[in-house]
Amino acid sequence: MSLFWCLSDCCNAGVKTALLDAHSDMGSTEILEKETSENLSNGTSSNVEAAKRLAKRLYQLDRFKRSDVAKHLGKNNEFSKLVAQEYLKFFDFTGMTLDQSLRYFFKAFSLVGETQERERVLIHFSNRYFYCNPDTIASQDGVHCLTCAMMLLNTDLHGHNIGKKMTCQEFIANLQGVNEGGDFSKDLLKALYNSIKNEKLEWAVDDEEKKKTSSEGTDEKANGTHPKSISRIGSTTNPFLDIPRDPNAAVYKSGFLARKIHADMDGKKTPRGKRGWKTFYAVLKGTVLYLQKDEYKPEKALSEEDLKNAVSVHHALASKATDYEKKPNVLKLKTADWRVLLFQAQSPEEMQGWINKINCVAAVFSAPPFPAAIGSQKKFSRPLLPATTTKLSQEEQLKSHESKLKQITTELAEHRSYPPDKKVKAKEIDEYKLKEHYLEFEESHPCQGRNKSEGLALVASTLKPVPFIRKQNRFPRSSSHRPIDFLHLMGQNIHSSS
């Protein structure tokens, strides 16, 4: 998970492994034998030279495909960082606007791979843009924040099944106070909004993929069928809303669960014919709850049906379904996009165990959203919740929860102090109720109970000693009354069980 990236020094083995990975994609035995035989232990200079050679060939697509580039730039080791830095030197963004630079950058390669890898690529882009334009935006973090905001906006405006489209006013409000504590220029934000609205952000694809897509579309059109959806979870246009599929993620809980879909995206009632109960073998792996027909086997690849049924638990909330009395041991899971699913466990203890684990993972790993649009907005819009894992340190994550609690509590109190007049239109009353529902939901999240100690205790209580992959890997007990360092504990089990 990105929260626990190991930032160690670049060792000989790490550089050699990266080179081997690169050459395995090239399919060139001659070059592989030549370059991997080089002695990379003579200090940083040899590493830099190797990185320069690889970066140049990636840029020139010398025996690489466009889809190969991102995975060599986005790996989490020192050599890949060197490669990324050298690769970005081929791009001169001087005098270009941020959106122009991002489009120019995306023309060179395909932004594919795991979510964490793609996010690292965009961090390298942000650093390079700031280097080329140091006086345009206050900091590298500011550039990265706007880059993420554009990616999210791109999906909001051009993605499918997103509901209400974000307005320019909401886009500006969502970014208040995140530019080193200040605000970005409104003219800048308006220009970025209009650019994304008028032209969708897209990246390059391999020629083979273009031909394949064109061929499939032609065949399906001739057969009178609809194009098949891509076999992956989440958005195909935005790395921040995709469900991160980390094959090395820890397994926190598994067992049989029966599932019933109660509400679709945005809380819309699921059609009656699709609400039936189905039994799955559930696996909470990383921030994804996989629902499979057969018992979990780590070596078995996920089927298209498995990916279709998978549920991200980022920013989700699990609770006992007290309003459902037809079956016992039923928990309710509300996701970040306001879908509602009911799950029946085999016992009360199992039900509570699932609730604890899901809420713990959501609290520990969910990345903070952009600030919600508040104030005089007539039309309420929920903030977009990125599916990437948080980049905050353990202490910062705790402070983020505490700060969010204060903000939500204050906003909810203010909201309730100005109820709509009974004479107003029904639409305005619906908007009022929608915002109140959202604020109540946010206030009830783990780590955001009605008081701080209550919220922290809830998260701490989920981290009981449990076997993960190996029986000896257990959470240490806390002998004091201080809150358990839950991020550190979760990190230990991630590393030991991956």
pLDDT band at 429 (very low <50, low <70, confident <90, very high): confident
pLDDT mean over 6-33: 35
pLDDT band at 246 (very low <50, low <70, confident <90, very high): low
In 276-393, where does DSSP find H-type helix?
Answer: 304-309, 348-365
> Per-residue pLDDT tens for 36-95?
334 333 346 778 899 999 999 999 999 898 889 988 898 888 999 999 999 999 999 999
Q: So what's the pLDDT on residue 318?
A: 93
Q: So what's the pLDDT on residue 126?
A: 94
C-alpha to C-alpha distance for 278 and 342, rounded to whole angstroms: 11
Q: So what's the pLDDT on residue 178?
A: 75
Q: So what's the pLDDT on residue 86?
A: 95
pLDDT band at 239 (very low <50, low <70, confident <90, very high): very low
Percent of the chain's residues with pLDDT above 70: 66
**With the C-alpha atoms ordered 298, 304, 309, 314, is the resulting torsion angle positive or negative?**
positive
C-alpha to C-alpha distance for 373 and 166, rounded to whole angstroms: 10
In the chain, the N- to C-terminal Cα span, in Å, equals 10
DSSP 482: S
Q: So what's the pLDDT on residue 191?
A: 96
> Per-residue pLDDT tens for 370-423?
554 443 345 566 666 766 677 777 777 778 778 878 888 888 888 888 888 878
C-alpha to C-alpha distance for 160 and 267, rounded to whole angstroms: 16
C-alpha to C-alpha distance for 208 and 206, rounded to whole angstroms: 5
DSSP 226: P
C-alpha to C-alpha distance for 259 and 311, rounded to whole angstroms: 12
- pTM for the model stands at 0.48
Of 140, 162, 141, nearest in space to 153 by CA: 162
pLDDT mean over 3-12: 29
Computed over every residue of the chain, the mean pLDDT equals: 72
pLDDT band at 245 (very low <50, low <70, confident <90, very high): low
Instruction: Find which of 80-89, 173-182, 245-254, 310-319 is predicted with most confidence, using mean pLDDT.
Output: 80-89
Q: So what's the pLDDT on residue 210?
A: 54
> Per-residue pLDDT tens for 217-234?
444 444 444 433 333 344
Six token digits for residue 35: 């370059």
Q: So what's the pLDDT on residue 303?
A: 76
Domains and CATH numbers, the chain: 1-90 (no CATH), 95-242 (1.10.1000.11), 251-365 (2.30.29.30), 394-497 (no CATH)
> Per-residue pLDDT tens for 159-215?
754 456 788 988 888 787 778 777 899 999 999 999 999 999 988 877 665 555 444
